[in-house]
Chains A and B, each alone.
Chain A
Amino acid sequence: GESVGLHLPTLSVQEGDNSIINCAYSNSASDYFIWYKQESGKGPQFIIDIRSNMDKRQGQRVTVLLNKTVKHLSLQIAATQPGDSAVYFCAENGVDSSYKLIFGSGTRLLVRP
């Protein structure tokens, strides 16, 4: 079935460096994508979203890139800080008319001091 997956389960970066978290999706019909951040002991929190009619969207220190040709989504975090340490999930809207979100398995970001 359709699924959302991630290339790297764990990413370790030096504080101050930029982080790139990747996500591959298989449903070419998906037209809405979200990145969530989940800190230890907390529920997932919305970071940024993007619609399929865009290829880039920027937020505060975060940028999401969408490449529909290869069905790839990435989250870029500039000047990574210790508070960015968390698990990051990508999600896409579902293939049926209910538009339920389908979540990937997550990437853990570790920020080294």
Chain B
Amino acid sequence: DADVTQTPRNRITKTGKRIMLECSQTKGHDRMYWYRQDPGLGLRLIYYSFDVKDINKGEISDGYSVSRQAQAKFSLSLESAIPNQTALYFCATSRWAGGQETQYFGPGTRLLVL
């Protein structure tokens, strides 16, 4: 979905390096999410934000941090990358709709940690 963009699309880094993945959206949504996807597995929630001042841990937040700089931007950082963080990372957005909201996903960032 072109309304949700992620940069970079692909990244190779070395163990111990700090890296940042960026997500931007033009949908005007208040909620943003970061997921990781491993081969053959579903999506696991890392962090989510319902507002610029709101940051919440998901089920696998260890080793990650996020920043919600503006409503349209939500960045994910790996403080010290390790090989088991090699995965496909997706950003998603949604608008609060009383429990019936749909999440819209970006194209993903493929990360390889050597």
Residue of A nearest to B50 (CB): A98
Shortest distance between the CB of B68 and any CB in chain A (Å):
15
Asked if A104 and B42 make an inter-chain contact with CB atoms under 8 angstroms apart, the answer reads yes
State in angstroms the CA–CA spacing of A65 and B45 once bound together.
Answer: 26
Instruction: Given the known inter-chain contacts A98-B50, A100-B45, A105-B42, please indicate yes or no for A42 contacting B103, CB distance below 8 A.
Output: no
User: Quick check: is B100 within 8 A (CB to CB) of the other chain?
Assistant: yes
Segment at the B interface, from A13-21, A43-51, A55-63, A70-78: A43-51
State in angstroms the CA–CA spacing of A46 and B27 once bound together.
Answer: 15
State in angstroms the CA–CA spacing of A49 and B48 once bound together.
Answer: 22
Asked if B48 and A32 make an inter-chain contact with CB atoms under 8 angstroms apart, the answer reads no
Asked if B102 and A46 make an inter-chain contact with CB atoms under 8 angstroms apart, the answer reads yes
6 cross-chain pairs, A with B, having the tightest CB-CB distances, nearest first? A43-B105, A105-B42, A99-B99, A103-B43, A103-B42, A32-B100
User: Quick check: is B104 within 8 A (CB to CB) of the other chain?
Assistant: yes
Instruction: Given the known inter-chain contacts A43-B108, A89-B42, please indicate yes or no for A101 contacting B103, CB distance below 8 A.
Output: yes
Shortest distance between the CB of A72 and any CB in chain B (Å):
18
Q: Could you tell me the dominant secondary structure of chain B's interface residues? A: loop
- Hey, which chain A residues are within 8 Å of B102, CB to CB? 34, 46, 49
Asked if A31 and B99 make an inter-chain contact with CB atoms under 8 angstroms apart, the answer reads yes
User: Quick check: is A81 within 8 A (CB to CB) of the other chain?
Assistant: no
Query: Residue-by-residue, is B58-94 near A (CB-CB < 8 Å gives 1, otherwise 0)?
Result: 1000000000000000000000000000000010100
- Hey, which chain A residues are within 8 Å of B108, CB to CB? 41-43
User: Quick check: is A27 within 8 A (CB to CB) of the other chain?
Assistant: no
Query: Residue-by-residue, is B29-60 near A (CB-CB < 8 Å gives 1, otherwise 0)?
Result: 00001000000111101001010000010100
Residue of B nearest to A49 (CB): B102
- Hey, which chain B residues are within 8 Å of A46, CB to CB? 102-104
- Hey, which chain B residues are within 8 Å of A43, CB to CB? 1, 4, 90, 92, 105-108
